[in-house]
Amino acid sequence: MSPAPFTAADFAVRPPEGCGVVGVSNHPDAARIASLALYALQHRGQESAGICVSNDGSFQLVKNMGRVSEIFTEPVLRKMPGNSAIGHVRYSTTGETSTCNAQPLMANLRRKQIAISHNGNLTNADLLAEELELGGAIYQSTTDSELLLHLIAQDREGTEFGVSLHRALTRLEGAYSFTILHDREMWAVKDPRGIRPLCLGRLGEAWIVASETCALDVVGATFLRELAPGEIVRFSGGEVSRPPALPAAPQAFCVFELIYYSRPDSLAGNKSIYNYRIRLGAELAREHPVSADVVVPIPDSSNPAAIGFAREAGLPLEMGLIRSHYVGRTFIQPAQEIRDFAAKLKYNPVQAILNGRRVVLVDDSIVRGTTSTKIVRMVRDAGAKEVHFRVTAPPWKNSCYYGVDTPNEKELLANKMSVAEMQAFLGVDSLGFISMEGVKRSVPPTMRYCDACFTGNYEAGRIVRQTKMLNR
Amino acid sequence: MSPAPFTAADFAVRPPEGCGVVGVSNHPDAARIASLALYALQHRGQESAGICVSNDGSFQLVKNMGRVSEIFTEPVLRKMPGNSAIGHVRYSTTGETSTCNAQPLMANLRRKQIAISHNGNLTNADLLAEELELGGAIYQSTTDSELLLHLIAQDREGTEFGVSLHRALTRLEGAYSFTILHDREMWAVKDPRGIRPLCLGRLGEAWIVASETCALDVVGATFLRELAPGEIVRFSGGEVSRPPALPAAPQAFCVFELIYYSRPDSLAGNKSIYNYRIRLGAELAREHPVSADVVVPIPDSSNPAAIGFAREAGLPLEMGLIRSHYVGRTFIQPAQEIRDFAAKLKYNPVQAILNGRRVVLVDDSIVRGTTSTKIVRMVRDAGAKEVHFRVTAPPWKNSCYYGVDTPNEKELLANKMSVAEMQAFLGVDSLGFISMEGVKRSVPPTMRYCDACFTGNYEAGRIVRQTKMLNR
Amino acid sequence: MSPAPFTAADFAVRPPEGCGVVGVSNHPDAARIASLALYALQHRGQESAGICVSNDGSFQLVKNMGRVSEIFTEPVLRKMPGNSAIGHVRYSTTGETSTCNAQPLMANLRRKQIAISHNGNLTNADLLAEELELGGAIYQSTTDSELLLHLIAQDREGTEFGVSLHRALTRLEGAYSFTILHDREMWAVKDPRGIRPLCLGRLGEAWIVASETCALDVVGATFLRELAPGEIVRFSGGEVSRPPALPAAPQAFCVFELIYYSRPDSLAGNKSIYNYRIRLGAELAREHPVSADVVVPIPDSSNPAAIGFAREAGLPLEMGLIRSHYVGRTFIQPAQEIRDFAAKLKYNPVQAILNGRRVVLVDDSIVRGTTSTKIVRMVRDAGAKEVHFRVTAPPWKNSCYYGVDTPNEKELLANKMSVAEMQAFLGVDSLGFISMEGVKRSVPPTMRYCDACFTGNYEAGRIVRQTKMLNR
Amino acid sequence: MSPAPFTAADFAVRPPEGCGVVGVSNHPDAARIASLALYALQHRGQESAGICVSNDGSFQLVKNMGRVSEIFTEPVLRKMPGNSAIGHVRYSTTGETSTCNAQPLMANLRRKQIAISHNGNLTNADLLAEELELGGAIYQSTTDSELLLHLIAQDREGTEFGVSLHRALTRLEGAYSFTILHDREMWAVKDPRGIRPLCLGRLGEAWIVASETCALDVVGATFLRELAPGEIVRFSGGEVSRPPALPAAPQAFCVFELIYYSRPDSLAGNKSIYNYRIRLGAELAREHPVSADVVVPIPDSSNPAAIGFAREAGLPLEMGLIRSHYVGRTFIQPAQEIRDFAAKLKYNPVQAILNGRRVVLVDDSIVRGTTSTKIVRMVRDAGAKEVHFRVTAPPWKNSCYYGVDTPNEKELLANKMSVAEMQAFLGVDSLGFISMEGVKRSVPPTMRYCDACFTGNYEAGRIVRQTKMLNR
């Protein structure tokens, strides 16, 4: 008899995803630089990738389902000359099989070409879509990102692109970090609350903008600074200028970027995020101490948190779960039919570490709880005497409206259960989440944060309405 | 030493191409019927194919570079349920590698979906494009066909789709046969001069429209009639209605459809086009008689003309050139690198027929003269004593502005040379083209024709301006 | 309701197939020349193609399912340097999905490399296979062709390759035309009865052998002569030598090559086969005269026969069935699910020709009768008053044991029915097959023929036994 | 200006590779179980994978270049019914583009089918190959593994398969763990020195053999025991039997399997290899102590060793290098053309950890030194004050003749340089390798080891001769 089937969730390498954007200006091989930068941002979106390059105003767009490394091979890059480029990586929503929603989006606008890459989510998309339709808009995609193009196109007064762009941006609500290619110029924009990251770097004569600093590192660029909330930057023939910013709003940087979403080697507040995760782990150890023999991270994203926890708790750290590097998307595709040892394909327990021990498992979030439950069972099967689960995020109860692809609120484990119920569901001897205050104590104090997913406090607004036409 | 390289032109199975359209309404398997109909229209455009199907107003679009049979395989068709569909086959212009200009074009228009297939060419596209941009249009393709969508979208007064469509159509100049899918309805339109064909058929409870009757035959549909110039037909839930037609203009049916472009088993004026080609061949034999031993067609498209010529001339017909069925596009792709015996791959001479004979070669057109020259040389190499070339079209001197993809006017052999010069260039002992009057005597007398490619008389207007932005 | 499904047979472009072989020696671009030659032989086998090239004794083998033009693209050919090469095209038997039986077959033999291409079929394959197994042979394929390799390998006495090859060949029974690549030499062999064709040509300093002369034409080579039955030719560094031939046997050239299998532009007995088909058509008209209005070939292979028939009968020839050039294999693949208008996809009737007429259909063979029946129905549906079917082959009653891939004998229409029954089955007003004597009167009188498929006279022996292990 | 190109070595996820084998008997879905087991062995060979399944003696073989997850998708597995199967994963040697050397190898042997999978390397391959050629063998591959098939095939006396197999095995020298499928039976064999691992497990009614225990874990099988050196096991219809073993020889288990090659969650001597790596790290800390601030592993394979080192040295462990999970083979393919930040694509330094610190880097081997040099430079660029390199293997000076794919001996860094020279080459402040005695103190004392790669003591013999014909 064959074992029960896998579910797609079993295989998800990282539970929640979103998008990543890059922009390159004034580099003779802009598309290649953009591809390497995207490569470093692949963790932000693994299902599609795209680059649009401008060769003196003549655009070329390549985008496809798949990984950066599969799409931007040498033969492809060799045919993409040009000195400015923008790029995008993206998760895909269930069932999507075409590239019509992949980005960058490209269009012909008043005899010039334009392309945009968007990380974030607009909360007033449906209202804008209706209004723009009355003005004659027809949509090539069903993404909210396309609305920016139509707002610019329908701007009757704007004789200059920058003016139209500014006017269009003031109409948007929600979260956005944009890179925009227009004719021979590149633009970068961050929303007034600065919800999503966007940083600026320098590589010789070239300028690079990217969602995270790790994308600058990979191409050897120097990190200059984060864009300020509401900032607009224009790159033109090697020159940078800063048109008037968008009207200010209180900063609301996504705290989940620090806990899980960004790469640990990226910087936040000029320090490695790795450090903040060490601090989160230590804080967690103080908030939820436990008498145990060994601390084991759910690799790889929880490694720093587990190190911090072990150090604070004075317990030995061991890599008691070995993660396979060969779980491929291909394997996932026909997911329904594959078998139930999914978690075993991804993680294998090290018996020598776990057998007879009291084990602390450290993770950085619990989403649906499916994978966590399987890991706990696996650790018990390997002989663990006790299993204690510690999480460096507060209980995740609410959907993100600002660009992190989360399951329906109803599917979030913490939305359905109390901590005690979750402990029973996971089958652990104890369960501890860091407190929201504990998080705040661990992350850079100089910034204000959006913590809506944990607190339900949607400072940047809720999504107004959801209609059939625009499936975001 | 390797022989000199092929050129793409050596391989072109049929020199000039354009597009073909179909529409299917009220059939439970509309996409499959559309695919079979497209299959029969493949000669009108071999480089891309697409079908958009409406499943109760929810659209699905599949289009790709390649042949109908490669794109619409069973697994693909099985995933395209729906009871109305439109389809398109298309040539591709040089260097095009993406599908952004392939059709049908699909968009979201006022919360409903719309898709269009277009055969023809608009002469006022650039003026319209400029005007629409002022109204806020952004373009997803660089085809003139997209303009119809924007004209409808920007129609402020039209509360009803049919009204907006009619108003939009009156703005178009040039040639068009459209099939349109809007929500749950299908529409078919022919331009006021009726330049391109579009016929109506019935298959059980379903309605079929298609560029040629051979597409009706292949699905077993009954041919009802050609659409009248300017006619608009609406198909809705099994019902057909005829909204007011477009303002009348003198008919100008493309005479080249009869000479070469349409399939010989399609009907024109309710008779097989095969018959008119027999008549063209006979007329040619009367206008340019020759003392010879054998009549040989350039297969397959010239077969009927050669039969007509041979019969009128009292000479034996022989298939002295064998055409290979295995010249594939794949072979063409890396065209620059392939070798010079291209013509030999496509046609092989039958020595037993040609050796020592005075040969009449019958063809239906001379475009650049490249392939003709190679065939003549091949026939001479096979031992022909004399080679006489006869063409069932007048000298082709002018570009078509109405949807036949022709090379630049400057490349047309008859535009550069007199008949005597062409005779020398081709290396033949005599060369005869049918006269324009001869053509008119051979084709249905009940219709008026566009003969601009031969006469330069562009009744339906010239292309106003050609800009970089819209490469048609 | 959707129509009934296609069967694979509906789509078969040519009913029976086999194999074609080529060999090129002493040409700097041997693989490319071989690919072009194979291209011209594609009609002999459409399902797989392969080339093995020797670059100073270092072999490279490329073979795959698919057409020559798809497999041997420029990027592939560019990586196949070498100055001798052999090639092969092959049909595939039902259900075969791998390339293990595709040819050339390659092996390492006493520290040197060897490859073979085989057209034909061995009748004593099973006996040889058993004997060779006792000697230690293990088989990489299930084709009889591999046995030659093992016979050579197990030849203990042979210190010289040519001696071992000769000894091995004398063990083979049945039909074979081989091209063999061994180290830096190329060899060509024809069986003692000369059942399959194999011709020799010259291209500059290079030598070409091929199944048919049309393969010489396509590369611009000069035809020198057919190999004699039993002849062995060795090509080594530009030199040609003729080792002792195989023991003589009465010639038995496959008469079906002349009737249908070879291309009409190939030569037999130094004359175009086209001519013999004209003669077969004329003979058929004399043997089975009919009062009718028009003669229509089943295109393209029956065109010459129909011309011969029409001329002899004094009736007009018309191309009353238009053949589509776009019936692709891709379309065939999921054959069970496609619909019944298969024949219509391949042939479309010209109503103007058929309506109200008494039609003579001329074909070159009837295999299962499936396609013929559909064509007849189609011609009747187009309005034909009478349909008379004429075939330029005698009734085909017996399987071929010598390399033409025929259906099981039980499926052959003429094996199951009398002529009268076939006439009823096809639904025709009269049915006439040419007599065996008529065939003999029409083909070159200087040769002796194998006519086993029509007469059951298997001069070259029957297949001894058929076991599970070797599925030929 | 673009940066300098990557080399393929920059991208190698794991420096040295070899092969992995599995066998499944008496399971209704044997191919699927085999594919999951191979999945867990992917680290042993990442370039090709294959499975041969026996469905009551009728074999089906699927093998291809690529990852297990890409080749054995659900549609493929669904078409591979059968209750016994063997599988193989393999590295590929430079430039290999075809699958002719991929395994399992399959052949037809005395009317039955046989397939073999081989992990190891035969040292007397060339002598055997010559001898077998004299007996008439022709080779379908250039792998030494094929020789076993020919030895069995040429065994004249063996009337029973087991007898022939035993006789054939006694002729082999070197290293081999075989899984063999013959008709309806499966066999497993380990060479008399037990150089490569091979373990036996039970899954319900089924038997599993595999190179490592992690392959048993993934399918939920129970580990029974390692095969003994020289052991032969036969699986037939659910029954297991042990024919007489091969003549005994002193055990020589590959010590490198413990240091690096096997997965840490696999068992050796019934304990997790993870444990031995912790011990190797601790031993290394004792042998080469250093005054430093932080211990950083080269992830992931050195994680346990670094933990052991840090713990023994009383230094904090930090994951100061973040490894990307998205370095794909696709990216590697056109390796010459990609850019020099290869190491940065694979590892990114965490500045917060490295800046201003004295860093101990722990790795498990140095092969060519190329990647190590780049990592050191990267760590220095991140601000490290000192870099100390520690290796849990002795200097690797000699090629492996027993199945680990190593570069040419001349390319091994330790073969070219003293430790002092290597320290300068790597640019580190100190460099320490564990001693051979230190290794022996850390690994299971109950086994004897092969340490030829470190000591040059080739107990199991050297490769006799290397000829052009068989490229192993």
Q: What is the CATH number of the domain that holds A298?
A: 3.40.50.2020
The pLDDT tens digits of the residues spanning B361-374 come to: 999 999 889 889 99
Say if C272 falls within a structural domain.
yes
pLDDT band at D342 (very low <50, low <70, confident <90, very high): low
pLDDT of residue B3: 32
Say if D118 falls within a structural domain.
yes
Say if C96 falls within a structural domain.
yes
pLDDT of residue B138: 86
D109 and C135: CB-CB below 8 Å?
no
Residue D255: DSSP 8-state: H
- The span from the CA of D362 to the CA of D317, in Å, is 11
- Mark whether B101 and B240 lie in a shared domain: yes
Chains touching C (at least 3 CB pairs under 8 A) are B, D
3-state DSSP helix/strand/coil % of chain D, to nearest 5: 30, 25, 40
Q: Angle CA(D364)–CA(D369)–CA(D370) in degrees, nearest 5?
A: 120
Nearest CA-CA partner of A268 in A191, A211, A189: A211
Query: What is the span of the domain harbouring residue A36?
Result: 8-249
pLDDT of residue A117 exceeding 70? yes
What is the number of alpha carbons within 13 Å of residue A66 lying toward its C-beta? 13
pLDDT of residue D467 exceeding 60? no
Is the Cβ–Cβ distance between A102 and A67 less than 8 Å? Answer: no
- Mark whether A80 and A197 lie in a shared domain: yes
pLDDT of residue A410: 87
- Give the amino acid at B352: A
Q: Which of C127, C138, C152, C469 to mutate to test the interface with D (most CBs of D within 10 A)?
A: C138
Is the Cβ–Cβ distance between B459 and B254 less than 8 Å? Answer: no
Contacts of D311 in chain A (CB under 8 A): 316
pLDDT band at B403 (very low <50, low <70, confident <90, very high): confident
More confident residue, A138 or D392: D392
pLDDT of residue C404 exceeding 80? yes
B74 and C337: CB-CB below 8 Å?
yes
pLDDT of residue B2 exceeding 80? no
More confident residue, C327 or C281: C281
More confident residue, C107 or C362: C362
CB atoms within 10 A of CB C23: 27
- Mark whether A207 and A311 lie in a shared domain: no
pLDDT band at D99 (very low <50, low <70, confident <90, very high): low
- Could you say which of D111, D135, D469 has the minimum Cβ distance to residue C136? D135
Residue C352: DSSP 8-state: H
**Average confidence (pLDDT) over A302-311:** 96
Chain-centroid distance, C-alpha C187? 21
Q: How many CB pairs under 8 A join A and B?
A: 62
Element (H, E) at B264: none
pLDDT of residue A359: 98
- Mark whether A286 and A415 lie in a shared domain: yes
pLDDT of residue B112: 86
**Average confidence (pLDDT) over B376-386:** 95
- Mark whether C134 and C188 lie in a shared domain: yes
- Mark whether B423 and B287 lie in a shared domain: yes
Say if A23 falls within a structural domain.
yes
- Mark whether B161 and B214 lie in a shared domain: yes
The pLDDT tens digits of the residues spanning C205-216 come to: 999 999 999 999
ipTM here:
0.87
- Mark whether C189 and C242 lie in a shared domain: yes
pLDDT band at B448 (very low <50, low <70, confident <90, very high): very high
More confident residue, B15 or B57: B57
**Chains C/A: 3 or more C-beta pairs closer than 8 A?**
no
pLDDT of residue B280 exceeding 70? yes
More confident residue, C390 or D7: C390
User: What percent of chain D has a predicted confidence (pLDDT) above 70?
Assistant: 88
Beta strands in C194-299 (DSSP E): 199-203, 206-210, 222-226, 232-236, 239-241, 253-254, 267-268, 271-272, 294-297
Chains touching D (at least 3 CB pairs under 8 A) are A, C
Mean pLDDT over the full length of chain D: 87
Contacts of D109 in chain C (CB under 8 A): 133, 138
- The span from the CA of C419 to the CA of C432, in Å, is 8
- Could you say which of A220, A331, A344 has the minimum Cβ distance to residue D217? A344
pLDDT of residue D5: 30
- Total domain count for chain C? 2
pLDDT of residue D47: 82
**Average confidence (pLDDT) over A253-262:** 94
Is the Cβ–Cβ distance between C91 and C42 less than 8 Å? Answer: no
- The span from the CA of B352 to the CA of B359, in Å, is 12
The pLDDT tens digits of the residues spanning B5-42 come to: 333 333 333 445 689 999 999 999 999 999 999 999 99
pLDDT of residue B269 exceeding 90? no
- The span from the CA of B345 to the CA of D167, in Å, is 57
3-state secondary structure of C204: coil
- Mark whether C24 and C160 lie in a shared domain: yes
User: What percent of chain C has a predicted confidence (pLDDT) above 70?
Assistant: 88
- Mark whether B186 and B134 lie in a shared domain: yes
pLDDT band at A100 (very low <50, low <70, confident <90, very high): low
pLDDT of residue D140 exceeding 90? no
pLDDT band at C465 (very low <50, low <70, confident <90, very high): low
- Give the amino acid at B310: A
Nearest CA-CA partner of C10 in C426, C409, C279, C370: C370
pLDDT band at D16 (very low <50, low <70, confident <90, very high): low
- Could you say which of C108, C110, C114 has the minimum Cβ distance to residue D142? C108
Element (H, E) at A367: none
Is the Cβ–Cβ distance between B94 and B406 less than 8 Å? Answer: no
Is the Cβ–Cβ distance between A380 and A387 less than 8 Å? Answer: yes
Q: What global pTM score does this model have?
A: 0.81
pLDDT of residue C328: 47
pLDDT of residue B472 exceeding 50? no
pLDDT of residue B255: 96
**Chains C/B: 3 or more C-beta pairs closer than 8 A?**
yes
CA distance to partner chain B, nearest, from residue A53 (Å): 15
**Average confidence (pLDDT) over A432-446:** 96
Q: Which of A79, A103, A108 to mutate to test the interface with B (most CBs of B within 10 A)?
A: A108
- Mark whether D203 and D329 lie in a shared domain: no
- Mark whether B225 and B302 lie in a shared domain: no
Say if A2 falls within a structural domain.
no
Say if A254 falls within a structural domain.
no
Considering C190, C219, C249, which residue would you say is the last residue of a domain? C249
**Average confidence (pLDDT) over C279-301:** 96
Q: What is the CATH number of the domain that holds D90?
A: 3.60.20.10
* Catalytic (active site) residue A19: yes
pLDDT band at A331 (very low <50, low <70, confident <90, very high): very low
pLDDT band at A327 (very low <50, low <70, confident <90, very high): low
Torsion of CA A387, A392, A394, A396, to 10 degrees: -80
**Average confidence (pLDDT) over C161-177:** 95
User: What percent of chain A has a predicted confidence (pLDDT) above 70?
Assistant: 88
pLDDT of residue D434 exceeding 90? yes
Considering C192, C220, C249, which residue would you say is the last residue of a domain? C249
Q: Which residues contact C344 (CB under 8 A, 6 or more apart)?
A: B217, B218, B220, C378
Q: Which chain B residue is nearest to residue C276, measuring alpha carbons?
A: B352
DSSP labels, B124-155: THHHHHHHHHHTT-EESSS-TTHHHHHHHHT-
Beta strands in B246-385 (DSSP E): 253-254, 267-268, 271-272, 294-297, 321-323, 347-349, 358-363
The pLDDT tens digits of the residues spanning B82-113 come to: 999 999 998 755 444 455 678 999 888 877 88
More confident residue, A111 or A249: A249
The pLDDT tens digits of the residues spanning A3-18 come to: 323 333 333 334 456 8
Is the Cβ–Cβ distance between B280 and B259 less than 8 Å? Answer: yes
Q: Token digits for C219?
A: 């590369």
Length of chain B: 472
Nearest CA-CA partner of B316 in B354, B274, B284, B271: B354
pLDDT band at A23 (very low <50, low <70, confident <90, very high): very high
DSSP labels, A252-319: -EEHHIIIIIS-TTSEETTEEHHHHHHHHHHHHHHHS----SEEEE-TTTTHHHHHHHHHHHT--B--
Say if B275 falls within a structural domain.
yes
Chain-centroid distance, C-alpha C321? 25
pLDDT of residue A407: 76
pLDDT of residue C239 exceeding 90? yes
Q: Token digits for C86?
A: 């052999």
pLDDT of residue D109: 83
Q: Token digits for B432?
A: 């005869």
Phi (first) and psi of residue B303, to 5 degrees:
-55, -50
pLDDT band at A78 (very low <50, low <70, confident <90, very high): confident
- The span from the CA of C251 to the CA of C460, in Å, is 10
pLDDT of residue B64: 84
Q: Which residues contact B342 (CB under 8 A, 6 or more apart)?
A: B6, B7, B10, B11, B374
The pLDDT tens digits of the residues spanning C330-388 come to: 333 333 333 345 566 788 899 989 999 999 999 999 988 988 999 999 999 999 999 99
More confident residue, A266 or B11: A266
Mean pLDDT over the full length of chain B: 87
pLDDT of residue A98: 54
- Could you say which of B2, B217, B345 has the minimum Cβ distance to residue C39? B345
The pLDDT tens digits of the residues spanning B234-253 come to: 999 899 999 999 998 999 99
Say if C192 falls within a structural domain.
yes
Contacts of B2 in chain C (CB under 8 A): 28-29, 32
- Judged by average pLDDT, the poorest of D53-67, D118-132, D328-342, D414-428 is D328-342
Chain A residues with CB-CB distance to B under 8 A?
A: 61, 107-111, 114, 133, 135-140, 142, 149-150, 153-156, 467-469
Nearest CA-CA partner of D393 in D258, D286, D300, D274: D258
The pLDDT tens digits of the residues spanning A142-184 come to: 788 999 999 998 887 767 999 999 999 999 999 999 999 999 9
pLDDT of residue B337 exceeding 80? no
User: What percent of chain C has a predicted confidence (pLDDT) above 90?
Assistant: 65
pLDDT of residue C41: 94
More confident residue, D146 or A428: A428
